[in-house]
Structure 1
Amino acid sequence: MIEVRWAVPTSVERVFAVLADGWSYAGWVVGAAHIREVDPGWPGTGTRIHHSIGAWPVAVKDVTKVLDVDPPRMLELEARLWPLGAARIRFELEPTADGTLVTMREEAVKGPAALLPEAVQSLYLVPRNRETLRRLADLATRQGTL
């Protein structure tokens, strides 16, 4: 799995609150363009976010499903983007003296993207996931968010 870490100067609970708000995903997940629906009970295991990825007019509609969750410490997702495939993404939140260390791990698990060597996937995923975590941190630390 490709791993990126980001220190966030706020509590684990505040960071997890952003992860638990399915409607916020288009605001911090790089590439997510529009959230169409969030299943009741998100982020419970098996619930989904119905989203679009990419820019109009070529946006692709698909879903992201919760595979496992341990609030407020961990959230594991399967993000689909057919015809490219699907990825397993795991967020782990660890309290630190200065806030929270967020670790994001991602790997392509289905489709053509899963055939690419990890080194090739890293060329795209590391910068994308750093920006994703930067945006997540911005939302979690914004005054008045919670």
Structure 2
Amino acid sequence: MVEVSLHVSASPERVFAVLADGWSYAGWVVGAAHIRSVDAGWPAVGTRVHHSVGAWPLQVQDETVVLEVDPPRVLELEAGLWPLGAARVRFELTEVDGGTRISMEEQAKGGPAVLVPEVAQALFLVPRNRETLRRLADLVLRKD
């Protein structure tokens, strides 16, 4: 499992509000290019964000489903990574002095990606997920 974290000067409720906006997903998830639809009730367990991944014209249609939610503390997702399989992605929000610590854990789940050693996965996932958290923080801090 690969974990990164970031401190943001906002409340867990404010951070979770961005996570709970499925239409914002492509604005902060590195690799997500376009949101096709968001299930009613997102982010309830079992609801999905239907998105495209990659650059046009090589975009892949995929989806992300909610596995666990405990507002405003936890959001766990299964993100499609076709053709590589899927990943379990968990966000934990912890209130700290001056804001929130956002922790993001990612683990390959199914498909060929599970065969890649965690050390090798981290070479790609750590920078990608740090950028994801930076984008999330940018949206949190400008959201009114």
The equivalent of 2:101 in structure 1 is 101
1:1-146 alignment to 2 at 5 Å? 1-142=1-142, 145-146=143-144
Structure 1 letter corresponding to 2:99: G
Write the letter of the residue equivalent to 1:139: L
Q: Which runs of 4+ in 1 moved over 6 A?
A: none
Distance 1:89 1:81 in 2: 12
- 1:82 shift after superposition: 1.4
**CA positional deviation for 1:26:** 0.5
Q: Tell me, yes or no, if the aligned pair for 1:7 and 1:101 is still in contact at 8 Å.
A: yes
What is the CA deviation profile of residues 77-130 of structure 1, one whole-angstrom value per residue up to 9, with x for unaligned ones?
000121111000000000011100000000001111111000000000000000
| TM-score normalised according to structure 1 size | 0.97
Q: Which runs of 5+ in 1 are unaligned?
A: none
CA-based RMSD: 0.5
Opposite residue 104 of structure 2, the aligned amino acid is: M
> C-alpha displacement at 1:67, in angstroms?
0.3
Contact kept? 1:6, 1:103, Cα under 8 Å: yes
Q: 1:110 aligns to what SS in structure 2?
A: coil
Amino acid at match of 2:86: A
Percent sequence identity is 69
Separation in structure 2 between the aligned mates of residue 58 and residue 110 of structure 1, nearest angstrom? 22
Contact 1:60 1:81 in 2 (8 A): no
